[in-house]
Chains A and B, each alone.
Chain A
C-alpha cells in the first residue's frame, strides 16, 4: 500500500514537518557559521558601530533626564539654577512692598503736618466753618 494513501492525523503531519524543518534549519546554522573573512570583518565593524551609537545615546540620556532641558541649555545644574530663577522674583516682591510702605508713610506725614498747622495756628479750626469765612474766600482780592 502506498504511503500516499496512509491516513495520518494533522498532529502527526505537523510533527513530521517540524522535524524536517528543524533539520534544515540545523544545516542552515552550520552554513551560517562559515561566512567569508571579509563578511565577518564587515559584521564586526557594523557591531562596533552599533555599540558606539548605543554608548553615545546612553551617555547623553542621563544628563538630560536628571537636570532637564533648561539645565542642558545652560550647562549647569543643582540648586544654583533654582536660586537663580527665584531670586529676581523675590527682589521684585520686596521692591513692591518697600514702595507701598514708603508711600503710606509719606501720606501719614503729610496729613500730620496739615493737622499740626491747623492746631497750632492762631485761628481756631471752628472759624473755617463760619459762613463769613466762606464769603471771604469767594471775594476776589484787589
Chain B
C-alpha cells in the first residue's frame, strides 16, 4: 500500500509530464489542468491502497481515460463529430528513409551552426508543435512508449490495443517527427 508520502512523491514526479501530455491532446491549458486533476483524484480515491510500483501504469491508464472522457464531453457539448480514433495523415512516406534522416540530424547535431541558428527554446517549441501535430493514437503511443518509458506490452495495455499496433504507431510517429524536424533543419 502506498503511503501518503509515496503517493505525493509520485504525483509530484508525474504531474508536469501528465499536464504536457494532455495539452498535446486537448490543446488547451485550462482543460488539460482539469483533466490532470480529475485523473489525480480518481487515482487517489480508487487506487491509493495499491503498491507504489503499480501507480505509474495505473495513472497513465486513468489519464488516458480522463482525456477520452474530456473529448466525449466536448463532442456532446459542441455537437461536433471529432474523430479521436486512429487517423493517419494523407501524405505518403513512401520515399522517406529514416537512416538518411538520422544521419542528417547527427551531422546537424555535430555542427555548431545548427545550435547558432536555432535557439534551444525554439527547438523545444518546434518539437512540441510537431508532437502535438501527430495523429492522436500515434502521439499517445509515442509519449507512453518513449517519454513515460513504458514497455510495449504496458503501452498496449494503457491504449487498449495490440502490441503490434503500438509498434506501428510508434514507428509512424518517429518517422513523422524525424521528417518534420529535418524539414525545419533541427538536429537532435
Contact with B along A18-50 (1 / 0, CB 8 A): 111111110111111101000110110111011
In contact, A50 and B171 (Cβ under 8 angstroms) = no
Contact of B156 with A by CB under 8 A:
no
Separation of A13 and B4 alpha carbons in the complex (Å): 44
In contact, A35 and B177 (Cβ under 8 angstroms) = no
* Known A28-B20, A50-B11, A50-B40: A57·B147 in contact at CB below 8 Å: no
In contact, A21 and B4 (Cβ under 8 angstroms) = no
With a cutoff of 8 Å between Cβ atoms, the chain A residues found around residue B149 in the complex are 25
- The DSSP consensus for interface residues of chain B is helix
In contact, B146 and A24 (Cβ under 8 angstroms) = yes
Max chain A Cβ within 10 angstroms of own Cβ: one of B7, B43, B99, B103: B99
With a cutoff of 8 Å between Cβ atoms, the chain B residues found around residue A47 in the complex are 8, 11-12, 15, 40
**Closest Cβ neighbor of A48 among chain B residues:** B8
Contact of B57 with A by CB under 8 A:
no
Max chain B Cβ within 10 angstroms of own Cβ: one of A3, A28, A30, A33: A28
* Known A16-B102, A42-B33, A54-B48: A23·B41 in contact at CB below 8 Å: no
**Closest Cβ neighbor of B36 among chain A residues:** A46
* Known A27-B123, A46-B37, A51-B8: A20·B128 in contact at CB below 8 Å: no
Separation of A51 and B33 alpha carbons in the complex (Å): 16
* Known A20-B105, A31-B124, A32-B20: A50·B41 in contact at CB below 8 Å: yes
* Known A39-B19, A46-B15: A21·B48 in contact at CB below 8 Å: no
Contact with A along B6-34 (1 / 0, CB 8 A): 01100110011101100000000100010
In contact, B40 and A49 (Cβ under 8 angstroms) = yes
In contact, B41 and A53 (Cβ under 8 angstroms) = yes
In contact, B98 and A16 (Cβ under 8 angstroms) = yes
In contact, B48 and A57 (Cβ under 8 angstroms) = yes
A20: shortest Cβ distance to chain B, in Å? 6
A-B contact pairs, 13 of them (CB 8 A): A4-B97, A8-B99, A20-B98, A25-B143, A25-B149, A28-B127, A28-B128, A35-B19, A39-B29, A39-B33, A50-B7, A50-B37, A50-B44
